[in-house]
Amino acid sequence: MKYPLSLMAILLTGAAPVMAQESGTFELDEIVFSAGLSPQEADRIGVSLQVISEEELQQAGNVQLADYLATLPGLSLTQNGPAGTDATLRIRGAGAGLIGVYVDGILVNDPTTTSGGFGGFNSLTTGSIRRVEVLRGSQSATFGGNAVGGVISITTVDAPRDEDGIRQSYAIEAGSFGRIGGSYGLSQQTGALTLSLGLSHTQADGFSAADENAGNTENDPFSTTRLSFGATYRVNPDVTIGLNAFIDDSEYEFDEFATSPVDGSPRDETGDTTVTGVRAFADVNSGIWNHSLNLTYLQTDRVVESRTVGAETAANFGSAFRSSFEGERVAASYVATTEALANQRLSFGIDWREETARYVNLGAGTASTRTTGGFIENIWSPQDNLDISASLRVDDSSSFGQETTGRIAFSWRAGANTTLRGAVATGYRPPSIDELFGNYPGAFPFVGNPDLAPEESLSYEIGLQQGFGNGGSVSATLFRLEVDNFIQYQFESPVSTVRNTPGATVFKGLELAASYPLGGRATLTGAYTLTDAEEASGDRVARVPRHDLSLSLTTEITDRLNAGLSLRHVADRPDDSGRVMDDYTVVNASFRYEITETLEASFRIENLFDEQYQQVAGYGASDRAFYVGLSSRF
C-alpha cells in the first residue's frame, strides 16, 4: 500500500473521476484515491467519480455547494426558493434518500427525515471546504445502505503534509439580497502532529421562496455557521491516530402552500437545524496487514415552526405547528488489508451502526434501528494495464433482516491516454424510521408501515475516457439504475401510509464531458447528461430533467486577471403533477484579479441575463445578482 488509511478516510477519498470538470485537471496517475476498502491509483478505478479540489471551490466564490455540484455530469438540483429552503441534489435522477453523504468521514444522512436523506444542501456553502468527491452508481457493497444512487463525500479538514509549517486562508464576499459571507482556514504541521481548523458563516436577506412573479413579496432570509476541527498524530511509523469534529447550525424561513406556495404571515414559518459530528480513528501497520479502526457519532436537532396559518392555505398546509426532531447515529468499523498475494489487494472487515430518532410523531416518542455488516473486497491486476475489483457485503438489520450486495468493476488502460471503465453493482436503501414508525394524526392522517422491505437496486455503467496531447480530454458514460420495491406514499382512507411498489423504477442515460484548451490562456469545458427516469407505472419521475447541459469558458486576460463565463441549460422536466415545466438557461460570469501573490479580488454575476425561471413549480429563483469578494492564502 502507498500509505495507511482508515476506512472513513478511504470513504472520504472516494475514486477517480471519469474526467476533471474544470480547467484544473487532475493528473490521474499521480493521485491515489479509492472507491473501495483500500487505496488505489486513480486511473486504475473502474467506477465513475468526480473530484473537486479546494482551488476550484475557491474560484467559484462563496456559493451554495449544491449549485456548483449541479454543473457536474450526472447531477441535478431542485430547490424551493433561495438558500435555506428545501434543496434536493440528485445523482443520475436518484434523490436524497438514495444518496449517502459523508462529511469528514461521518455519514450525515438525517435519521429523522422521511426518506433518511441528507437535508443540509439547502444551506451548505463552499466556504472552508477542502475537497468534494461524487461517486456515481450503486455503492452499497462498500458503503452499506443509502448508497443506491451514489455517494457524495465532503472534506473540510487538512490531511498530513510532508513539510512542517502553518498555512492560513480567508475569504469574504458580499452582494445582492443582503448576502455576506466569509470563511477562515488554519492548518499546522509540527512533526508528527497535524492540526486543522475551519470556520465559515453566510447570511442573507434572501428573496421570496414563493415566486415573486406570482405576487409574493416577503423575503425569506437564512444564515449558516460551520466550525470544523481535525487532529492527526503519527505515534510511530506504523501507528497513526486522529480525531475530527464539526458543528453546523443553520436558520431559514419558508412559505406556506395552498394550491401553490404563498407568503403567508410574515416571518412566522421558520426552521433551525444543528448538526454535530465526531470521528475518532486509528491506523496500524503490522507487517503484511494494515488495520483501520473508526468510531463516529452524529447528532441532528431540527425545529420547524409555523406560528399561524392563513385561511387560504389551511386546507393543504394544515394548522399552526411547532415540530422538534432529534436524531443520533453511532457507528464503528474495522478493516484489514493486505497485499501479500501476488498482483492482488485483499480487504475485509465488519461495521455496526445504530440510528435513533426522537419526536412526538413516533408511537413511543422514540425508535431505533441497528445494522451489522461484514464485507470483503479483492482487487486483481493480471496485467499492468488491467485492474478488476470484486466486492461483497452482507448486512443484518433489526428492521428488515438480511441484505446482500456486491459489485464488480474493471479499468483497462488501452493506451497512454485511453481508459475503458465499467461496473455492475447491487444496492439497497433501508426503510427510514419515519417510514416504519411515523404517526401523524390530523386532517391528513398518516401512519408508517413496519412491514416495509428495503428498496433494492441493480446498476450498470460503462465509460470511455480519451486524453489528447494538448491537455484536452473527452469522456462518455452509459448508465442504468433499476430500483425495485420502491417505497411510495399511498393515499388511503381513513389513514394513509407507505408501501413497497411492485416493479422497477428505472433511471438510464448518457453522461458526456469534455475539456479543450483554446491556445495557452483559455479552456472550454462542458458536461451533458441525458436521463430517462420512469416509474414502474410508466409515469416519468418528477423533477428529473431529461436534458442537463453545462458549459464553462475560463481565460487568462492578463497574468493577473482571469475571467470565466458559464452556462447551464435544463430542459424537459415534469413537475409533481406530471406537467412538463418550461426549460431555462442561466448564464453566470466571474472575474478574479491577483492584487498580490497572496491576495485576490473577485467579482461575479449570477443570472447575467436575468432569466425568470423555476426549479420547482411555484417557487422562485434568483434574479440577476452581483457579488464582490477578497480571498487570501498564506
CB-CB contact of 120 with 248 (8 Å) = yes
Confidence band of 20 (pLDDT split at 50, 70, 90)? very low
197 CB neighbour count, 10 Å cutoff: 19
pLDDT of res. 441: 85
Tell me the three state secondary structure of residue 434. helix
| b/e burial code for range 376-403 (CB count within 10 A of at least 16 → b) | bbbbbbeeeeebbbbbbbebebebbeeb
Is residue 180 exposed (0-12), middle (13-18) or buried (19+ Cβ within 10 Å)?
middle
pLDDT digits (tens, 9 = 90+) for 126-147: 888 888 989 999 999 999 998 9
> Could you give the angle at the alpha carbon of 24 between the alpha carbons of 27 and 165, nearest 5°?
80
Confidence band of 324 (pLDDT split at 50, 70, 90)? very high
Mean pLDDT lowest for which of 53-67, 241-255, 451-465, 563-577?
53-67
Torsion of CA 484, 488, 490, 496, to 10 degrees: 130
**Closest CA relative to residue 507, chosen from 484, 488, 487, 526:** 484
Share above pLDDT 90 across residues of the chain, in percent, rounded to a whole number: 77
Position 426 pLDDT exceeds 50: yes
Tell me the three state secondary structure of residue 96. helix
Mean pLDDT of 205-231: 95
Residues 6+ apart with CB under 8 A from 74: 48, 91, 92, 134, 136, 477, 479, 511, 529
pTM: 0.92
Note the maximum CA span of the chain: 73
**Residue 135 to residue 10: CA distance in whole angstroms:** 13
pLDDT of res. 19: 32
What is the number of residues in the chain? 634
Mean pLDDT lowest for which of 1-5, 208-212, 420-424, 457-461?
1-5
pLDDT of res. 81: 93
pLDDT digits (tens, 9 = 90+) for 488-510: 988 888 899 999 999 999 999 99
* 365: alpha, beta or left? (left if phi > 0; alpha if psi -120 to 50): left
pLDDT of res. 36: 64
Distance set, CA 619 to CA 80, 176, 186, 259 (Å) = 5, 19, 39, 12
DSSP letter at 317 equals H
pLDDT of res. 88: 94
Distance set, CA 141 to CA 405, 420, 450, 480 (Å) = 5, 22, 25, 17
**Residue 303 to residue 319: CA distance in whole angstroms:** 16
pLDDT of res. 363: 79
Confidence band of 311 (pLDDT split at 50, 70, 90)? confident
DSSP letter at 107 equals E
Mean pLDDT lowest for which of 12-26, 271-285, 401-415, 436-450?
12-26
Q: Regarding beta strands 99-103 and 150-155, do their DSSP bridges make them parallel or antiparallel, or are they unpaired?
A: parallel
Residue ranges with strand state E in 140-288: 150-155, 165-175, 179-190, 193-204, 222-236, 239-253, 256-257, 261-262, 269-286
**Structure-block grid coordinates of residue 561:** 486577471
pLDDT digits (tens, 9 = 90+) for 348-385: 999 999 999 999 999 789 999 999 999 999 999 999 99
**Residue 160 to residue 168: CA distance in whole angstroms:** 15
pLDDT of res. 13: 33
More confident: 238 or 416: 238
**Structure-block grid coordinates of residue 56:** 476550484
**Residue 328 to residue 110: CA distance in whole angstroms:** 8
Distance set, CA 378 to CA 47, 409, 507 (Å) = 15, 11, 29
Rg of the chain (C-alpha set): 24
**Closest CA relative to residue 320, chosen from 341, 332, 306:** 306
Mean pLDDT lowest for which of 211-225, 248-262, 302-316, 528-542?
302-316
Q: Which helix (H) or strand (E) holds 9?
A: helix 7-13
Tell me the three state secondary structure of residue 499. strand
Position 8 pLDDT exceeds 50: no
**Residue 471 to residue 226: CA distance in whole angstroms:** 37
| Type of residue found at 576 | D
Confidence band of 316 (pLDDT split at 50, 70, 90)? confident
Position 307 pLDDT exceeds 80: yes
pLDDT of res. 493: 84
Mean pLDDT of 403-425: 95
DSSP letter at 137 equals S
CB-CB contact of 223 with 201 (8 Å) = yes
Omega before residue 494 within 30° of 0, cis: yes
Paired residues of 239 in beta bridges: 236, 284
Q: CB-side exposure of 30: number of CA atoms within 13 Å? A: 3
pLDDT digits (tens, 9 = 90+) for 233-270: 999 999 999 999 999 999 999 998 888 899 988 888 99
**Residue 221 to residue 251: CA distance in whole angstroms:** 8
- Separation of first and last alpha carbons in the chain: 33
Position 532 pLDDT exceeds 60: yes
| Type of residue found at 387 | D
Mean pLDDT lowest for which of 67-81, 113-127, 414-428?
113-127
**Structure-block grid coordinates of residue 553:** 469558458
Tell me the three state secondary structure of residue 24. coil
pLDDT of res. 26: 34
Residues 6+ apart with CB under 8 A from 551: 524, 525, 526, 566, 567
For all residues of the chain together, what is the average pLDDT? 90
pLDDT digits (tens, 9 = 90+) for 438-471: 998 877 789 999 999 999 999 999 999 999 988 8
pLDDT of res. 163: 87
**Structure-block grid coordinates of residue 77:** 438540483
CB-CB contact of 610 with 624 (8 Å) = yes
Is residue 209 exposed (0-12), middle (13-18) or buried (19+ Cβ within 10 Å)?
buried
Place of cell 405576487: 215
Please say whether the structural domain 7-633 has been given the CATH code 3.30.360.10.
Answer: no
Position 517 pLDDT exceeds 50: yes
Q: Which helix (H) or strand (E) holds 66?
A: helix 65-69
For 29, list phi and psi in degrees, rounded to 5. Answer: -80, 0
